[in-house]
Structure 1
C-alpha cells in the first residue's frame, strides 16, 4: 500500500474550503478517500516533524501560508527542503511551493511556456526601487504593476507613464524602517564612499498590459477535470479578479481549456489554479497568473459542472463536485501515473 503523509499547520488545517470561514478541508474525509483509493494516509503537524524519520520514497502533501510577512511559510520551507534532500517526494514539487506568493518566481517558471498555445505577457522584475529607477527609461508603457505577493487584485495597478510608474512603485516597494533609516544615514556620515542601502525593497513585477479585455477566466484543473469561472471587468477597472461579476458559463472557448490542460502537463502537477485572459479577435490566450497550492476553491465548490476531454473533444459534465474527493482523486492518479513511469 502506498504511503501518503499529509502535513497540517498549527491550526490543524490543510488548504482551504468555502464551507467554514478561514477553515481548511475536511481531514477525515481526505483520509477516508485515500484509504478507499488504496493508499495509507498519515496526518502530521509540521511541529511534529521528525528529522530521524525515513523520508525517502514517501509521498508528502503539504500546504503553504499567506501570513503577513510570510514567517510561517519560511518555517514550512525549512521542513520541505530537508524532506526533499532526504529523498521525499513533495506534491507539488518544492519549486511550486516557492512560487506561492511570489510573482517574480512565477514569471521565471513561465519563461519557457509555448507561446503558440498561451502567450505569457512580457514581465520585468525588480527587487529594489533603485533598480527600477535606473532602468525605467528603457521600459515601454502602459504596464500592470504588481507586488510579488498578494492575491485578489491586491497590490495590482495600471501605470500609463514612466512618471506614474515610479510614483506608484516607490510607495508599493517601501520597506521603510526607522532603525534602518538612521543606521544607513549614520554610516553615510562616517564611512567615506558608503552607498545608501535601499529602503524600498519589496519585490514587484511590471507586466505588459493587454487592452480591451472584457475579463478573464479563473480555471481550476484537477487531473482531468477543469472547472471554469468567467470573471468580467468593471467598466472603470481592468482587474477582473476583484470585480465580483462572476458566472459559470458553459460556452468557454476550447482554446482556454486546451491552454489549461497544456499548463498542467507542462508543470506536471496534479492541480493548478490559472488566470487566463482570452482575446476573441485573434483567438489568443494569455497567462495572467497561476498557483499550485493555497488557491481559492470557490470555482470548484460552486460550479454546477466541469469540463472533461473525452475522445479528443471537450464535454460538459453536469454535476456538482466534492472538494476533498476531487483533490484526493487527482493526487491518487498523479502518484499512480508517476509510479507507472518509473
Structure 2
C-alpha cells in the first residue's frame, strides 16, 4: 500500500484517481501529523507534492522527506529530486559541480566582494532571490549604481519574500490578459495590509546576493520536464516590454517550437542529477546552445494537459495525451518491485 498526502492541490488529485482506476491500494495521510513516521510503518511508499507557497510545507516537508530517505523508505520527491527545490543557491552549486550548462551565476556573502565584482562586471545582469517562482523576485540590473543599491540592501535590511506592490502589478497584468478575475485585484489590494503567511514564515532574505548573466534575444524560454525516460515541453513567451517568461501566462504546446537541443540537454542533465522528476527552464545563448536558468521538481500540471505527446530518451517523439503524475507513481512502484500497476 502507498501513502498519499491528503491534499486537493498539485499532483495529489491525479495520484488519487490513478490509484483508484488501477486498483492500487493507497491511503490518504497527513504528513504534518506528529506521528507520521510511525503511521507510515507498513506502507511501501509516500507521495507528497509539497509547495513553497504553503507555510507548513515550507517548515516541515524537506525535513520529513529527508528523514524517510535515511530509512531507505521510497518517497516522491526523493532526496536527489527535492533538496535543492526553490533554492537558487543550492541549484548554482549543484549544477556547477555536475558541469551542467547553467547560465553563469554569481553569489557573494559580503558587501566588499560583491561591490568589487559589480565594479568590474558588464551589465545588464539579472538579480534574483534564492526563493520564488513565476518570475517573483527577478529584476534586470542595467548598471553599477543599480547593482550597488541591491548589494547594500542585501547586506542591510534585506528583501522581503513578498512585495504587495509587485504582486498587485502582476495581478493587473494577468487581469488585462484575461488570465485573472477582478476579484484577484481586490485580493491584491488587501495584501498591502495582510501579507501571505508563507512570506511571514520565510522572513527576509539577507546576507547574500545573487546575480545571473542576462542572455539577450530570447523571445521565450523553454520548459522541459523529464520524468524517468520521458520528456515533454512548452514554449513560454516573455511578457510585453519585459524579459521574463515564467508566469507570463502565454505559452505554446507545439513541439515544433521546441529546440531538440533543449530536450537532449534535459535528458543529459537528468542522468547526472539522478532524480525522479525535473523541470528545466532553458534559454538559448548567442552560440545557439541551451543554457539552464533554473530547475525544479514541481510544476503546475494543468499547464501541460494539452501537450500532444512526449519524447523518449532516444529523442523519438510519441504522439498522444498523457498525465505525467501517473509516471511519477509508476517510478515509485518500480522502486518497491512492482513493474506494472496492480
- Alignment TM class, shorter chain as reference: 0.7 to 0.9
Q: Does 1:122 align with 2:104?
A: yes
- Further displaced range: 81-90 or 53-62: 53-62
3-state DSSP class of the match of 1:273?
strand
Number of aligned residue pairs: 293
C-alpha distance in structure 2 between counterparts of 1:176 and 1:223, whole Å: 37
Contact 2:95 2:102 in 1 (8 A): yes
Matches within 5 A, 1:80-159: 80-115=65-100, 119-126=101-108, 132-133=114-115, 135-159=117-141
CA displacement, residues 22-52 of structure 1 (integer Å, 9 cap, x when unaligned): xx5245314336645xxx5443211333445
Q: Distance in 2 between matches of 1:322 and 1:54?
A: 27
Counterparts of 1:24-39 in structure 2 under 5 Å?
24-32=12-20, 35-36=23-24
Aligned 1:256-295 pairs, distance under 5 A: 256-279=262-285, 282-292=287-297, 294-295=298-299
- 8 Å CA contact 2:14, 2:326 repeated in 1: no
Distance in 1 between the 2:320 and 2:270 partners? 22
**Deviations 1:212-258 (Å, cap 9, x if unpaired)?**
22221111222233221112224521112233331112222221111
Equivalent residues in 2 for 1:182-197, closer than 5 Å: none
Report if the CA contact (8 A) 1:220-1:272 is conserved: yes
Structure 2 equivalent of residue 320 of structure 1: 321
Encode CA deviations 1:169-192: one digit per residue, 9 max, x unaligned: 555774489xxxxxxxxxxxxxxx
Gaps of 5+ in 2: 161-203
Query: TM-score, structure 2 length as denominator?
Result: 0.72
Cα distance in structure 1, aligned partners of 2:225 and 2:117 = 36
Q: Rate the CA distance shift 1:122–1:337 in 2: closer, same or farther, 3 A.
A: farther
Please, which runs of 5 or more residues in structure 1 have no aligned partner? 18-23, 178-198
2:181 — aligned with what?
Answer: none
CA deviation string 1:126-177 (max 9, x = no partner): 4566763465335443211111111111111111222111223555774489
Q: CA RMSD in A?
A: 3.4
- CA 1:57–1:242: 2 relative to 1, 3 Å: closer
Larger CA Rg, structure 1 vs 2: 1
TM-score (norm 1): 0.72
